[in-house]
Structure formats: C-alpha cells, structure tokens
Amino acid sequence: MSEATASARAPLGLLKTIIVGLAGLFYAYAVWNAIAYLVTVAQFDLNAYGWFVLIFSVLFPILAFAAAFVLGRRRSALDLLVVMVAGLGLVAVFWINVVALSAVNLTSLTS
C-alpha cells in the first residue's frame, strides 16, 4: 500500500471528528429550520418557483456541508474548522435571502 493510499484511508482523528460533529449539528439545525419554514409557507398554495426555492433551501445546507467536508477532510483541524464555518456563513446568507424574498414579496412564491 502506498503512502498516498494510506493517508487517504486514514481516519479523521478525534479533533476533526468533534469539529465535523459540532458543525453537523449547526447544518442540521439549518435543514430543520428550512423544513419548518417550508411547511409553514406551503399553506399559501405555492407555485413552481416557490416550491423550488423552498425545497432548495432545505437541500442547500446539506450540499454545503458535503462540500465543506470534502474540501476540509484532508487538511489540518484548523483548516477544517475554517471551511466548516465558512460553509455555515454561506448557508446563513442564503437563508437570509430566502426569508427576505418571502417577507418582501410572498406573491412571487404563491399562485
């Protein structure tokens, strides 16, 4: 087994596992919050654009977590932490945009 293959299969380590676990809880909260908002706003008879925006707001934190994990898993623990926090910041900005869109112009999301 080559050194590159051995490092690719090496476990994350305790510190990285804790970082991924704690960051995962924040990403899961973003998903949970988006699902609750989707259920609440779905009562207003959403159009196709509304469904797309709100379902994508559920999927976006999952995609951001996966991208942050892939980008940071082979780096140091500090780099992994920075990538996870940057991903959370991106999720937060996206969520603020979704809430602002629905607060200012709910009619664009409904039929």
Q: Where are the domains of the chain?
A: 12-108
pLDDT digits (tens, 9 = 90+) for 18-68: 999 999 999 999 999 999 999 999 898 889 998 999 999 999 999 999 999
CA torsion through residues 47, 50, 56, 57, sign: negative
Output b/e per residue, 12-24; b: 16+ Cβ within 10 A.
eeeebeebbeebe
Backbone angles phi, psi at 31, to 5 degrees: -65, -45
- Whether residue 4 is predicted with pLDDT greater than 90 in this model: the reply is no
How far apart CA 52 and CA 67 sit, in angstroms, is 21
- What's the whole-model pTM score? 0.85
pLDDT digits (tens, 9 = 90+) for 93-104: 999 999 998 888
Question: What confidence tier does 108 reach under pLDDT thresholds 50, 70, 90?
Answer: confident
